[in-house]
Amino acid sequence: MQAMLTLGYKTASAPAVPRWPGKGDRESARKIETYRKLEGIQTQPRLAPGKWDLSFRDLVVELDEELHFNRYRLVTLSQDWSEVLPWATEYRAFSFEHEGS
């Protein structure tokens, strides 16, 4: 938190957590596809993230703790949509190297 404040970010109330819109749209289909690749078995999974870790004006932050870097994160970041993420390659490598750590 202090590092972000030092960089000039101002704290703010967190925006609403994104929710899974209606079934049948393209993004929902992608989420279900990823869920199945992660070996999910529920017919109608609850696809809703939790609250943000930090919130600033025009920026929300979700912190990735060491337990987030595993085979499941690797599957998630092997989807075509992740290719545009500037940190995807490093996250994939870290997830592969630290599975089971």
3-state SS class at 61: strand
- Residue ranges of domains in the chain: 1-63, 64-101
Tell me the pLDDT tens digit for each residue of 20-54.
Answer: 655 557 777 888 888 888 888 888 787 666 777 89
- Answer whether 13's CB lies under 8 Å from 57's CB: no
Chain centre distance of CA 7: 24
The answer to whether 74 and 96 have CB atoms below 8 angstroms apart is: yes
Q: For residue 12, name the pLDDT band (cuts at 50, 70, 90).
A: very high
- CA separation (Å) from 78 to 22, 26, 30, 81, 85? 25, 18, 12, 8, 11
